[in-house]
Amino acid sequence: MDSAELTTTIDMAMLELAPDESDTVQRSVSQMLDYFAVMAAAPVDGVEPTTHAFSTTNRTRPDTRNERSVADELLESAPDLEDRFIAIPNVL
């Protein structure tokens, strides 16, 4: 993976890496991609991909009210709150 591809990918991954950390990631990722090259030889023509081993159809659960709400605990987990709103820096 070249530096331009690396920069784009790091950006898409919502990370910002210092130069030395970026070098480490580039080495590690390139090593894995080289290793992945063996897959090119696999006889996959006409083979269906497997995404989930046993999934057949989408399963839903009944749309019923849950007896116990964890809303307050979830709000308490937020790093910064204003009343019952999660606070973040200004959007504009």
- Using CA atoms, how far residue 53 sits from 10, 36, 62, in Å, is 31, 22, 24
How far apart are CB 65 and another protein at their closest, in Å? 14
Residue 39's alpha-carbon distances to 32, 35, 62, in angstroms, are 12, 9, 42
In the chain, the amino acid numbered 29 is: V
40 binds another protein (CB under 8 A): yes
Q: Provide CB contacts within 8 A for 58, sequence distance 6+.
A: none
- Under the binding rule (CB under 8 A), the answer on residue 67 touching another protein is no
Site for another protein contains 84 (CB under 8 A) = no
Residue 70 touches another protein, criterion: CB under 8 A: yes
- The contact set with another protein (CB under 8 A) reads 1, 5-6, 9-10, 12-17, 21, 24-25, 28-29, 31-33, 35-36, 38-40, 42-44, 47-55, 58-62, 70, 73-74, 77-80, 86, 88-91
